[in-house]
Amino acid sequence: MEENRTLNFIEEIIESDLADGKCDAIVTRFPPEPNGYLHIGHAKAICINFGLRRQYNGKCNLRYDDTNPSKEDVEYVNSIKQDIAWLGFEWDNELYASDYFERMYECAEDLIRKGLAYVCDYDAEQIRATRGTLTSPGTESPWRNRSVEENLQLFRDMRAGKYADGEKVLRAKIDMSSANINMRDPVIYRILRATHHRTGDAWCIYPMYDFAHPLEDAFEGVTHSICTLEFEDHRPLYDWVKIHCGFGSLPRQIEFARLGMTRTIMSKRYLKKLVDEGKVSGWSDPRMPTLSGMRERGYPAEAIRNFCQAIGVSKANSEVDVAMLEHFVRDVLNRDADRVMVVKDPIKLIVENVDAPETYDVENNPNAEVKTTRKVTFGRELYIDREDFAVVPPPKYKRLVPGGTVRLKGSYIVEYVSHETDAQGNVTQIVCRYIPDSISGGANAGMKVKGVIQWVNAADCVDLTLHEYDYLLLDGDGDFNDRLTPDSHRVFDRAKGEAALRACKPYDRLQFMRMGYYSAVGNYGTDGKYEFNLVTGLKDSFGK
């Protein structure tokens, strides 16, 4: 690991456990429930768990926490794998909580035999009503003192399908007056008839998270079970299960603050709602804060890792400015993306003194370590952006105006000759002349011009469709249903790009000069479709 950095609190715990000989090597896990696609919050947990694996030369497993069949699906299982691999991490083992259902069941019988679990006939409402509050203890269930034999029989009957869903539960027998409500005889098994995506209909009882999770960790030899802060109050129960089921001081649960981000929905449940209600095109819609959405949008995985590194690990919940994530995206793209010219709203520019087209080499990326160039062709008919010409210029306008001059990026300086308008007064065409020898290195290159604009050659340019996005959420807080940004996806289907763009491949990322960073869509180039997603603008608002 790098020197000169103070350890975060997780590393401190790990180093002291290693020093005390509690373990020889660490084992972590990333435990998603396959009930949705991973989002940027999960990236934080992935970077922590897989980062520790690398740092301490340990292991990190991908474990599906698939104990809730009614919400889970193989589509999610597959997307999760794809997203972790895309982020750049490798797991040691791919594991499923459902593979331990039999072992978990045995642990439950074992608790019953020890007098530490009982079958309760209360329904969910009665359990809630007798749980007590933060200031008052709960009341004991009338079924709490059933004999071991009766409990064993009832639990076996639950498994055998003798009872309806919700008719009985298995509860841990802990302490109904515990100050910690999680310790007031929590439910550890429930009856649920739902087909599981892996075990099918083999089971009609399923373990609850608080019982299953410590066992999964313990079975797999996880040493440090890292989860988010809302489980802090569950840690005594985690330890209770672990100890009474016969495991030692490790695994140990460590909680960190979950990632929250401005203008971002960070919960699979709500993201699913957007998908189900058709508010977005799917889980991978480029506006979604899912890893697959970010991949479609064109975010580099490296930028997400750098962001996670920068936000660090803490124990205090806070909301990160979404501009910070974009800052890291821009950082990688500024270094890596080739620069090209595109006009979003084209208007013809006739250069009347051009006799024959010319081709020059233009540098692709001024920041590249190894400089490369591409061919750009200059000709008599060009396109520039409508915004780069103004008949009546606003103050401080630095582009082409009647009587003015402007430099065409990477090419000549041109001077205005005339323009035409339609019946509504919209400019339809501009005529200009280029100034010979004004190209970089030429005798007139030093001529003063107010501005530089991008252009494309009408003879060889490619028609493009650009997709531009806004945040899904408006600023503020409150119910996200009332905060959806109207018009968060805009389409520009008249754009034109320089010829080199024909050769792009899906997910190629480029800087469209003066416009922003764009990424070729996943089916770029097929069926004559040349489409780009706006990844992020050029301006960095982070820390400003």
Residues that bind ligand ATP (CB under 6 A): 31-33, 41-42, 44-45, 227-228, 258-259, 266-269
**Considering 263, 268, 295, 514, which one is annotated as catalytic?**
268
* Residues 268, 41 contacting (CB under 8 angstroms): no
Q: Pick the closer one to Mg ion by CB: 269 or 529.
A: 269
Smallest gap from Cβ 467 to Mg ion, in A, equals 31
Distance CA 72, CA 63 (A): 14
Smallest gap from Cβ 255 to ligand ATP, in A, equals 9
* Residues 64, 33 contacting (CB under 8 angstroms): yes
Within 24-43, the residues that bind Mg ion by CB under 5 A are: 33
Q: Is 102 helix (H, G, I), strand (E, B) or coil?
A: helix
Q: What is the DSSP letter of 316?
A: S
Q: Pick the closer one to ligand ATP by CB: 39 or 146.
A: 39
**Considering 81, 131, 258, 273, which one is annotated as catalytic?**
258
Instruction: State in Å, rounded, how far the first CA of the chain is from the last one.
Output: 32
Q: Pick the closer one to Mg ion by CB: 11 or 33.
A: 33
Residue 203 CA: distances (Å) to CA of 72, 216, 273, 334: 15, 18, 28, 53
Smallest gap from Cβ 253 to Mg ion, in A, equals 16
Which of Mg ion, ligand ATP, none is residue 390 near (CB under 5 to 8 Å by kind)?
A: none
Which of ligand ATP, Mg ion, none is residue 305 near (CB under 5 to 8 Å by kind)?
A: none
Which of ligand ATP, Mg ion, none is residue 254 near (CB under 5 to 8 Å by kind)?
A: none
Smallest gap from Cβ 212 to Mg ion, in A, equals 13
Beta-sheet pairing, 205-207 with 187-191? antiparallel
* Residues 151, 118 contacting (CB under 8 angstroms): yes
Q: Pick the closer one to ligand ATP by CB: 279 or 398.
A: 279
Which of Mg ion, ligand ATP, none is residue 386 near (CB under 5 to 8 Å by kind)?
A: none
Which of ligand ATP, Mg ion, none is residue 63 near (CB under 5 to 8 Å by kind)?
A: none
Q: Look up tokens 């590249």; give the residue.
A: 368
Smallest gap from Cβ 206 to ligand ATP, in A, equals 16
In the residue annotation, 348 being an active-site residue is answered as no
* Residues 273, 480 contacting (CB under 8 angstroms): no
Smallest gap from Cβ 271 to ligand ATP, in A, equals 7
Distance CA 112, CA 161 (A): 19
Angle (CA) 32 533 311, round 5°: 45
Q: From the centroid of its chain, how far is CA 362?
A: 35
Other C-beta atoms closer than 10 Å to the C-beta of 72 total 22
Q: Pick the closer one to ligand ATP by CB: 47 or 107.
A: 47
Which of Mg ion, ligand ATP, none is residue 58 near (CB under 5 to 8 Å by kind)?
A: none
- Is-cis flag, bond preceding 251, omega within 30? yes
Distance CA 209, CA 306 (A): 32
Smallest gap from Cβ 170 to ligand ATP, in A, equals 22
Residue nearest ligand ATP (C-beta atom): 41
Q: Pick the closer one to ligand ATP by CB: 105 or 231.
A: 231
The alpha-helical segments, DSSP class H, found in 259-384 are 268-276, 291-297, 301-311, 322-336
Q: Pick the closer one to ligand ATP by CB: 97 or 120.
A: 97
Which of ligand ATP, Mg ion, none is residue 199 near (CB under 5 to 8 Å by kind)?
A: none
Smallest gap from Cβ 10 to Mg ion, in A, equals 21
Residues 6 or more apart whose CB falls under 8 angstroms from that of 298 comprise 286, 507, 509, 517, 518, 519, 533, 535
Size of the site for Mg ion (CB under 5 A): 1
Smallest gap from Cβ 286 to ligand ATP, in A, equals 19
Q: Is 506 helix (H, G, I), strand (E, B) or coil?
A: coil
* Residues 382, 351 contacting (CB under 8 angstroms): yes
Which of Mg ion, ligand ATP, none is residue 266 near (CB under 5 to 8 Å by kind)?
A: ligand ATP
**Considering 11, 33, 109, 358, which one is annotated as catalytic?**
33
Distance CA 145, CA 244 (A): 19
The alpha-helical segments, DSSP class H, found in 189-234 are 209-219
In the residue annotation, 544 being an active-site residue is answered as no
Q: Pick the closer one to ligand ATP by CB: 82 or 267.
A: 267
Q: Pick the closer one to Mg ion by CB: 33 or 540.
A: 33
Q: Which two tokens stand for residue 430?
A: 């501009």
Q: Which two tokens stand for residue 163?
A: 């009872």
Instruction: Report the interhelical angle of 301-311 vs 74-87 (nearest 10°).
Output: 80
In the residue annotation, 94 being an active-site residue is answered as no
Distance CA 544, CA 536 (A): 17
Smallest gap from Cβ 323 to ligand ATP, in A, equals 18
Q: Which two tokens stand for residue 34?
A: 């396959």
Tell me, letter by letter, the H, E, C secondary structure of 330-362: HHHHHHHCEEECEECCEEEEEECCCCCCEEEEE
- Backbone phi and psi for residue 306, each to the nearest 5 degrees, phi listed first: -65, -40
Q: Pick the closer one to Mg ion by CB: 31 or 298.
A: 31
* Residues 428, 420 contacting (CB under 8 angstroms): yes
Which of Mg ion, ligand ATP, none is residue 259 near (CB under 5 to 8 Å by kind)?
A: ligand ATP
Which of ligand ATP, Mg ion, none is residue 404 near (CB under 5 to 8 Å by kind)?
A: none
Query: Which are the catalytic amino acids?
Result: 33, 258, 268
- Which residues contact Mg ion (rule: CB under 5 A)? 33
